[in-house]
Amino acid sequence: MAPGIPVTCSSDELFSRTLRILADLVRFDTTSHKSNVSIISYVKDLLTSCGVDSQLHWNTRHDKASLIATAGRGGVRERGILWSAHTDVVPVDGQIWTSDPFTLRVTDKLAVGRGTADMKGFIACCLAILSAAAIDSLTRPITLVLTYDEEVGCVGARQLVPELRKRSEQAIGCIVGEPTGLTVVVGHKGKQNHRVRFTGEAKHAALAPEAANPITTASALAIHASSLNQRFRSQGPHDERFGIPYSWINLGRVEGGVKPNIVPAVCTMELEVRALPEQGCDDISSQLRLYADGTLLNQMQAHTASATIEWEQLSDTPWFAIDENHPFVEMVTATLSKPTPPEYVAFGTEAGLFWGHAGIPTVVWGPGSIAQAHAPNEAVSLDQLSTCLSSLQKLPLASTSQTSP
Ligand SMILES: [Zn+2]
């Protein structure tokens, strides 16, 4: 069997190093609305000190960056593996924590802190291994990809797609280290968030029969969404691999109006589409848009010529589905996973961008539970961190001849 990744320290040392790195990572408050430059600089410096160069890919405001770093050149034709994670975390606002969320607390079983499960625990494992690896022994390179703004719609990863596509020929595959409890995940639905703004004209309620009412129009869109949902549920498409085997539109927020005696000028609605791979979010959101921009806008403008309906797409997480029998899935399942079949999950990840958009075979696999992610007192179990370390080291990336016994 092909050998794994050789490291220059004991497993105890590697584990302590992982916790030290995790403590550093948790200390950076990388809530999505803040800059991630500090954590990216930390990772870049750490990798530089191990002889690994990093490439940064900045956003247009130059306050956030993704990082791509490759360790080990391998043979010219040897394809490597990617480890990927997002650096941003969700806010702690309104949550009750028993300790500072940005100071790592280690108990006898858990590492507690914002991002420990989603996904700084995985990043710490990757960095600990890279910093301890006998890099010259790697015949297949390891590329670390860290992104920003995953939690607000995979913004950083989407920007990286052209760069990843260039690297796809050189990649065996990618592991996206979202918290799956170390089970290999091969699929999830797509997700899009939209804000729809209905605008009419404020008027005395006595004149309501002659006015376009944005709240009424928003309600009509809600009823239309509901009828589409009933159709998805009863007529499909259906895909039994998913816990809820059909697509759905969720109306998450409605805001508008002042008082009963005023026809409102504006109503805003926010909705989320979750779609099966074979259906896709675009198909569903364009059905909604067609109805709004045609039927509903005509009805509004019949009363108020200046009425408008504006759509804003707030986020887009593409669906992800890879064949369970794909050679990369079989390789990682055999190497990394518990002896359980690959699974499908309800939450979204960046995996669809790596596989569907950039053409790199991908699985989602990482320490921690999704039930812990985004929650107060977020934690990852020390056992899972330890298993993550030993599993990643088993990946067949070094040659027998160059590996020390
Ligand atoms: Zn995540």
The domains located in the chain, with CATH, are 11-187+319-393 (3.40.630.10), 190-317 (3.30.70.360)
The predicted pLDDT at position 396 comes to: 81
CA of 3 to the centre of ligand 1 (A): 30
* % residues pLDDT > 70 (the chain): 96
Residue 384 has pLDDT above 90, yes or no: yes
Phi, psi of 278 (to 5 degrees): -75, -15
CA-wise closest residue to 151 among 249, 34, 252: 34
Task: Give per-residue pLDDT as tens, 205-231.
Answer: 999 999 999 999 999 999 999 999 999
CA of 210 to the centre of ligand 1 (A): 49
CA-wise closest residue to 192 among 270, 91, 309: 270
Contact 123, 64 (CB under 8 A): no
CA of 342 to the centre of ligand 1 (A): 19
* Protein residues within 5 Å, CB atom, of ion ligand 1: 118, 178
CA-wise closest residue to 9 among 366, 121, 42, 20: 20
Helix (H, G, I), strand (E, B) or coil at 68: strand
CA of 120 to the centre of ligand 1 (A): 9
CA of 177 to the centre of ligand 1 (A): 8
CA of 119 to the centre of ligand 1 (A): 6
CA of 151 to the centre of ligand 1 (A): 7
* pLDDT band for position 75 (cuts 50, 70, 90): low
User: Which stretch of 75-84, 155-164, 285-294 has the lowest confidence by average pLDDT?
Assistant: 75-84
CA of 146 to the centre of ligand 1 (A): 12
* % residues pLDDT > 90 (the chain): 87
CA of 150 to the centre of ligand 1 (A): 7
CA of 347 to the centre of ligand 1 (A): 9
DSSP H or E stretch at residue 386:
helix 382-393
